[in-house]
């Protein structure tokens, strides 16, 4: 039961974050620029997050989806730690916790 819930929370979370990053509000684009990425980088990040969500949702591609999600989260954590933007660590920690729960039960 916990496994199923964590999987679907990951799918919803990655897809929602991906959509948010791909649409790219002014604040989101500004964050990416402040972190040293091009203004359009949110589209790439958002696309990868949505791909990860789809892969996680399908049992046959769940492991690659979880791996992609983990890589995205590591990159995000390194970015926010490097730039000391600690306010982003709480949501990232939630994603990492659900990734850990999902990977333990795969």
Ordered per-residue pLDDT tens for the chain, 106 residues: 667 888 999 999 999 999 999 998 888 899 999 999 998 999 999 999 999 999 999 999 999 999 999 999 999 999 999 999 898 899 999 889 888 888 776 6
By CB atoms closer than 10 A (0-12, 13-18, 19+), residue 22 is: middle
What's the pLDDT at 72?
A: 97
Backbone angles phi, psi at 26, to 5 degrees: -55, -40
DSSP summary character for residue 84? T
Residue 2 has what pLDDT?
A: 61
Q: Quick one: pLDDT at residue 106? A: 67
State the pTM of this model: 0.90
């Amino acid at each position: 039961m916990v496994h199923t819930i964590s999987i679907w929370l990951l799918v919803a979370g990655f897809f929602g974050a991906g959509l948010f990053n791909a649409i790219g509000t002014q604040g989101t684009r500004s964050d990416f620029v402040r972190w040293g990425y091009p203004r359009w980088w949110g589209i790439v990040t958002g696309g990868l997050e949505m791909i990860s969500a789809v892969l996680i949702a399908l049992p046959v591609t769940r492991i690659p989806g979880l791996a992609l999600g983990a890589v995205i989260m590591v990159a995000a954590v390194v970015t926010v730690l490097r730039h000391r933007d600690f306010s982003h660590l709480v949501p990232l920690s939630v994603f990492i916790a659900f990734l850990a729960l999902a990977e333990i039960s795969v």
